[in-house]
């Protein structure tokens, strides 16, 4: 079974999707869980998105065929790293595969995880201690890990503000808190902000103080969150921008960034397989130590279940469950 993008959202189809040219040599993985990302939400509701595409890039599954690799084999639980950097461009050669202009990805250039079966290159399979849905968060957590590397010296920062209380905001807040910072989360819906704070060991932002560092973790067709990050960061501080702003131009108040001499760093995804600083691998290792149940909600692989979860304020991260969900 798989869910295909069509003119009016998702359609459930019985059978196996067409993997096309990509996938012939790649390893078959039976999908157990696939997280629903903000970018999936965006494409679901974009009338110009490619019909027939199978979205989903946050896959946990089980290797479904013998692999002569030594690292993983049939029956092993794995997280599938969605990004395939080229490995040879200037960025890749400098361990900045997050900036590879030639990379392709699961759920975009190849069949994604809204399918009971996916195919991925063997180097993109990361062995897991168990087949658990928490590892569906490896992709957003890898972005958070990359965001932290935007800060030159976190050890001299006393406090930090995370603007955004979604999955990315909550994960980033927790990483900053584990680094010893006093962390506040700014969000718009009290219930969701509280949930992010409880998960992260942070407090809701009171709206009136400044911080040494800030992370913008919302993006979209608005600039308020960027302005908040600029206005609430102390002089000489650093702002990491992880949100995706799809418009080329947005009216935004940027003067505070100049006045305060802020260092503003764009964080574009993360470093993956083959990179000397593999954010995805580090995210998988960290998740084995965390419970993410406060953030994750399992949903059935049905179009309505996914749509409903995306609109539900009680849900931070919907995870589509192809497996029973009893792990
Ligand atoms: Zn994602
Ligand atoms: Zn490259």
The per-residue pLDDT for range 164-199, each reduced to its tens digit, is: 999 999 999 999 999 999 999 999 999 999 999 999
Cα 139 to averaged position of ligand 1 atoms, centre (Å): 5
Q: For residue 153, how far is its CA from the centre of ligand 2 (angstroms)? A: 27
Tokens of 222: 């608005």
182 DSSP β-pair partners: 159
pLDDT digits (tens, 9 = 90+) for 17-37: 988 866 567 999 999 999 999
Q: Residue 49's pLDDT band (boundaries 50, 70, 90)?
A: confident
Q: State the chain's mean pLDDT as an integer.
A: 94
For residue 100, which ligand has an atom nearest its CA?
A: 2
Q: Give dist(CA 289, CA 57) in Å, integer.
A: 22
Using the mean position of ligand 1's atoms as its centre, give its distance from the Cα of residue 72 in Å: 23
Distance 256 CA to ligand 1 centre (A): 30
Q: How sure is the predictor about 6, in pLDDT bands with cuts at 50, 70 and 90?
A: confident
| Res 41: pLDDT | 84
- Cβ neighbours for 88, distance < 8 A, ≥ 6 positions apart: none
The answer to whether the Cα torsion of 263, 253, 220, 99 is positive or negative is negative
Q: Mind listing the pLDDT tens digit for each residue in 254-272? A: 999 999 999 999 999 999 9
How remote is the CA of residue 40 from the centroid of ligand 1, in Å? 8
State how far the Cα of 250 lies from the Cα of 237, in Å rounded to an integer: 23
The token pair at 177 is 């808190």
| % of the chain exceeding 70 in pLDDT | 98
Q: Residue 98 C-alpha to ligand 2 middle, in angstroms?
A: 9
94 Cα–ligand 2 center, Å: 9
Instruction: Find out whether 94 and 152 touch, Cβ atoms under 8 Å.
Output: no
Q: Is the pLDDT of residue 214 over 80?
A: yes
Q: What is the pLDDT of residues 61-96, one digit of tens each?
A: 999 999 988 899 999 999 999 999 999 999 999 999
| Measured distance CA(72)–CA(109) in Å, rounded | 24
| Ligand 2 centroid from CA 272, angstroms | 11
Any idea which of 1-5, 67-71, 79-83, 301-305 has the lowest mean pLDDT? 67-71
Cα 206-219-229 angle, rounded to 5 deg: 35
Global pTM value: 0.96
Predicted confidence (pLDDT) per residue in 131-159, tens digit: 999 999 999 999 999 999 999 889 999 99
Instruction: For ligand 1, an ion, list residues with CB under 5 A.
Output: 37, 139
Q: How many residues does the chain have?
A: 327
**What's the pLDDT score for residue 189?**
92
């Amino acid at each position: 079974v798989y869910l295909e993008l069509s003119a009016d959202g998702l359609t459930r189809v019985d059978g196996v999707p067409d993997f096309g040219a990509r996938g012939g040599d790649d390893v078959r993985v039976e999908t157990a869980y696939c997280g629903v990302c903000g970018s999936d939400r965006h494409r679901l509701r974009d009338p110009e998105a490619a019909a027939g595409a199978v979205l989903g890039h946050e896959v946990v599954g089980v290797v479904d065929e013998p692999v002569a690799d030594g690292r993983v084999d049939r029956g092993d639980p794995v997280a599938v790293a969605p990004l395939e950097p080229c490995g040879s461009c200037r960025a890749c050669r400098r361990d900045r595969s997050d900036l590879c202009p030639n990379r392709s990805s699961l759920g975009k250039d190849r069949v994604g995880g809204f399918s009971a079966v996916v195919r991925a290159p063997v180097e993109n399979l990361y062995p897991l201690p168990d087949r658990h849905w928490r590892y569906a968060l490896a992709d957003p957590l890898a972005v958070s890990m990359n965001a932290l590397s935007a800060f030159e010296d976190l050890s001299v920062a006393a406090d930090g503000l995370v603007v955004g209380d979604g999955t990315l905001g909550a994960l980033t807040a927790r990483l900053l808190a584990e680094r010893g910072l006093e962390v506040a989360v700014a969000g718009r819906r009290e219930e969701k902000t509280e949930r992010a704070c409880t998960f992260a060991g942070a407090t809701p932002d009171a709206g009136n103080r400044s911080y040494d560092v800030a992370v913008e973790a919302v993006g979209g067709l608005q600039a308020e969150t960027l302005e908040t990050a600029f206005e609430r960061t102390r002089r000489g501080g650093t702002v990491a921008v992880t949100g995706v702003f799809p418009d080329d131009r947005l009216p935004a108040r940027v003067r505070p960034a100049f006045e305060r001499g802020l260092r503003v760093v764009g964080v574009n995804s993360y470093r993956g397989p083959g990179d000397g600083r593999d954010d995805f691998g580090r995210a998988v290792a960290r998740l084995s130590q965390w419970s993410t149940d406060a953030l994750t909600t399992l949903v059935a692989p049905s179009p309505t279940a996914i749509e409903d979860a995306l609109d539900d304020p009680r849900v931070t991260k919907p995870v589509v469950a192809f497996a029973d969900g009893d792990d």
